[in-house]
Amino acid sequence: MEFSHKEGQTLALTVSYLIDESLPLVSNLANLSRALFDGFKNVSWAGFYLANEEGNTLYLGPYQGPLACTVIPFSKGVCGYSATNKRSVLVDNVHTFEGHIACSSSTNSELVAPILKNDKVLGVIDLDSNELSNFTKEDAKILEEIALIIAKLFP
């Protein structure tokens, strides 16, 4: 299947076109991880961590990129910080973020947005880059918008 993100089409719109609600969640997330990988510039890792029922641990979900940590407590890392605080986190230099979990030593910046439904954290979307300060506040807004769309897929 040809990736359908077109010049001038917002990534959020591309995401909504890619979603097929008749499919299992994992199938949608798998394709969306690639859409996110391709949709933002200089991405080295793009994917999902999904929250457990208790809402205290994130587990690795579909992604594109090098092998990654499989379990992240809400108390750890940029992903945990985003889940705990229920807000997106933009990190220009991961080496200065206390508690950052280095899944890959080449990662320099990161953007994480929580997936929320009825104020409950269902997971996070994580984007990594080998470039410093790769992601912008505008990217954070776009990722938050995408997280809202993706939240609708969860039961």
By C-beta, is 6 or 66 nearer to ligand SME?
A: 66
- CA pair distance 141, 22, nearest whole angstrom: 28
Q: In the complex with ligand SME, which residue's Cβ is closer, 7 or 38?
A: 38
Give the closest residue to 129 by CA, choosing from 43, 55, 66: 43
Nearer to ligand SME, 99 or 152 (CB): 99
Sign of the Cα torsion 55, 60, 65, 68 reads: positive
Distances (CA, A) of 100 to 82, 89, 128: 12, 12, 12
Q: Are 74 and 83 in contact (CB under 8 A)?
A: yes
In the bound complex, what is the minimum distance in angstroms from residue 95's beta carbon to ligand SME? 11
CB 50 → ligand SME: shortest distance, Å? 13
Q: Which residue is nearest to ligand SME (CB)?
A: 77
Task: Catalog residues that contact ligand SME under the rule CB under 6 A.
Answer: 45, 68-69, 72, 77-80, 100-101, 103, 107, 110, 126, 128
Nearer to ligand SME by Cβ, of 74 and 150: the residue is 74
